[in-house]
């Protein structure tokens, strides 16, 4: 069973704070180091240590760049530049100075032969992610975070996403931060991430583009595009970095905490800057306190679980299909889309199915001012939500997605292969024993029709009859 993570962002959120908090929760540092060693990126090492932030013990995750590419602040400079003045990093973030109590040996990573000074675009980022030795789940999460960042930056500069280039100073450490977050979330088995609100500072910040207001454009774009809740505080300085906002946008599954919950473990990640607030990110593994759930609800859930377990057992006895098809719950994602062509909608549907959607469909609707539009509906598993939402935001004009948890009842099913005069066809047998129905799989049947010239309808009936004979 997956775990629920609550991110408490009262002091903001950044990439390094998130990695540190997840490591403090128990993510395996050795697993992370092995992934980082596999990156086609050179010129960095990591340090994990314990530090004090406002007297609170916290984990510190530090990406140290080689001198040739070292910058003032390793906190998403590639999007908004160096930080000076009131937002100067703590102790200028001088590595190796007294008081920076690293208690573990540093680890150098990266493949030889790659230039330090290189402006990477999304194509290069995708290649780095694809080449990393990480799980598919972690890979999807990392890619989703980067795509959200790229889209936000593209909007800020009014350029296509593929023309966005991440500045060389912050590229390496930003890649490390983002991939580390993805790896740690996967290693901890996190399937639900709850982030009620992002707390941001105020004032201005000096960056490569000049003096900008806080929140910086990339953050405001992510908050707007992904429907995040933002609260502006009186703290002078930047609390939410573009990486931090993108992480939340990519992995958040809910903005509501359970009414009652139990804290299993707490991790605290340290930030690098000194503000009036503590500069920590607190992460908690939680679960709903079942004792507070009404007894009738418990009985209902137990009954449903038992029913689905029986269905799964029956299906496994037939030796045919994935037991995840019998999950108690499924999620429906909805969003209204206008200003999108049919070709775009078709492409999005194709990508959603490739990403694991159980079903995708469009419904014509009329929005305010009688604008014609499409209602996109996606049915998916809970663990696929971050990737689905990131894809929708990246490929459509949607600025908000509704998420609905739905209880479902599923018939037992199995996939088998049957023979018809023209070849082998894959079919699905659904229903309780004695009342099964046969449904030929489209691609399997279409392949035979293309090869032989037989009509689809005729081949379909042959496959159904063949399936019935095996029931």
Same domain membership, residue 400 and residue 417: no
Q: Which long-range contacts (CB under 8 A, 24 or more apart) does 458-463 make?
A: 459/420, 459/422, 459/425, 462/420, 462/421, 462/422, 462/425, 463/418, 463/420, 463/425, 463/427, 463/438
Task: Determine the 3-state secondary structure of 140 from DSSP.
Answer: helix
Residue 244: cis peptide before it, omega within 30 degrees of 0: no
Predicted local distance difference test score (pLDDT) of residue 263: 93
Q: By the 8 A CB rule, do 168 and 118 touch?
A: yes
* CA–CA gap between residue 426 and residue 10 (Å, rounded): 54
Inside any domain, residue 297: no
For residue 107, give its domain range.
3-287
| Residue 21 pLDDT > 60 | yes
Same domain membership, residue 345 and residue 205: no
Q: By the 8 A CB rule, do 282 and 8 touch?
A: yes
Inside any domain, residue 314: no
Read off the pLDDT of residues 182-230 as tens digits, 9 standing for 90 and up. Answer: 999 999 999 999 999 999 999 988 766 678 899 999 999 999 989 999 9
Same domain membership, residue 13 and residue 55: yes
Same domain membership, residue 280 and residue 386: no
Considering the entire predicted model, what is its pTM?
0.56
Read off the pLDDT of residues 74-110 as tens digits, 9 standing for 90 and up. Answer: 343 433 333 333 333 333 333 333 333 334 434 444 4
Same domain membership, residue 251 and residue 380: no
Read off the pLDDT of residues 426-438 as tens digits, 9 standing for 90 and up. Answer: 988 888 777 888 8
Inside any domain, residue 305: no
* Of the residues 407, 440, 458, the one at which a domain ends: 407
* CA–CA gap between residue 25 and residue 282 (Å, rounded): 10
Read off the pLDDT of residues 278-300 as tens digits, 9 standing for 90 and up. Answer: 889 999 999 887 544 444 445 54
Q: What's the CATH number where 348 sits?
A: 3.30.70.1380
Same domain membership, residue 379 and residue 427: no
Q: By the 8 A CB rule, do 164 and 78 touch?
A: no
What's the chain's average pLDDT? 80
Inside any domain, residue 316: no
The total number of structural domains in the chain stands at 3
Same domain membership, residue 419 and residue 403: no
């Amino acid at each position: 069973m997956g775990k629920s993570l609550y991110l408490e962002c009262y002091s903001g959120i950044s990439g390094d704070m998130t990695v540190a908090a997840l490591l403090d929760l128990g993510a395996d540092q050795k697993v992370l180091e092995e992934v980082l060693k596999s990156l086609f990126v050179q010129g960095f090492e990591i340090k994990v240590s314990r530090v004090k932030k406002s007297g609170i013990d916290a984990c510190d995750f530090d990406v140290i760049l080689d001198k040739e590419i070292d910058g003032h602040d390793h906190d998403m400079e590639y999007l908004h530049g160096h930080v000076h003045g009131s937002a100067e990093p703590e102790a200028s973030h001088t590595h190796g100075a007294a008081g920076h109590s690293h208690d573990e040996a540093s680890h150098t990573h990266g493949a030889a032969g790659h230039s330090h000074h290189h402006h990477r675009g999304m194509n290069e980022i995708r290649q780095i992610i694809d080449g990393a030795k990480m799980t598919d789940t972690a890979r999807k999460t990392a890619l989703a975070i980067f795509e959200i960042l790229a889209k936000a930056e593209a909007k800020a500069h009014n350029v296509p996403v593929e023309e966005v280039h991440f500045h060389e100073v912050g590229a390496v450490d930003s890649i490390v931060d983002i991939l580390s977050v993805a790896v740690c979330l996967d290693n901890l088995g996190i399937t639900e991430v709850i982030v009620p609100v992002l707390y941001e500072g105020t004032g201005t910040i000096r960056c490569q583009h000049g003096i900008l207001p806080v929140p910086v454009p990339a953050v405001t774009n992510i908050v707007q595009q992904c429907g995040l809740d933002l609260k502006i505080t009186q703290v002078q300085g930047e609390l939410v970095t573009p990486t931090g906002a993108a992480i939340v946008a990519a992995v958040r599954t809910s903005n509501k905490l359970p009414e009652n919950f139990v804290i299993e473990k707490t991790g605290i990640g340290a930030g690098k800057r000194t503000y009036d607030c503590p500069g920590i990110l607190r992460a908690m593994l939680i679960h709903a306190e079942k004792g507070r759930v009404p007894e009738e609800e418990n009985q209902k859930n137990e009954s449903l679980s038992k029913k689905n377990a029986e269905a799964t057992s029956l299906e496994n006895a037939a030796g045919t299909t994935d037991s995840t098809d019998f999950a108690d719950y499924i999620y429906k994602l909805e969003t209204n889309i206008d200003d999108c062509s049919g070709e775009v909608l078709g492409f999005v549907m194709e990508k959603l199915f490739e990403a694991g959607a159980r079903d995708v469909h469009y419904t014509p609707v009329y929005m305010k001012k009688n604008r014609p539009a499409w209602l996109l509906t996606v049915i998916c598993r809970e663990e696929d939500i971050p990737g689905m939402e990131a894809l929708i935001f990246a490929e459509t004009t949607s600025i908000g997605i509704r998420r609905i948890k739905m209880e479902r009842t599923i018939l037992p099913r199995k996939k088998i292969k049957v023979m018809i005069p023209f070849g082998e066809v894959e079919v699905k047998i659904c229903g309780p024993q004695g009342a099964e129905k046969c449904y030929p799989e489209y691609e399997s049947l279409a392949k035979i029709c293309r090869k032989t010239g037989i009509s689809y309808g005729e081949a379909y009936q042959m496959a159904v009859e063949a399936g019935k004979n095996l029931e």
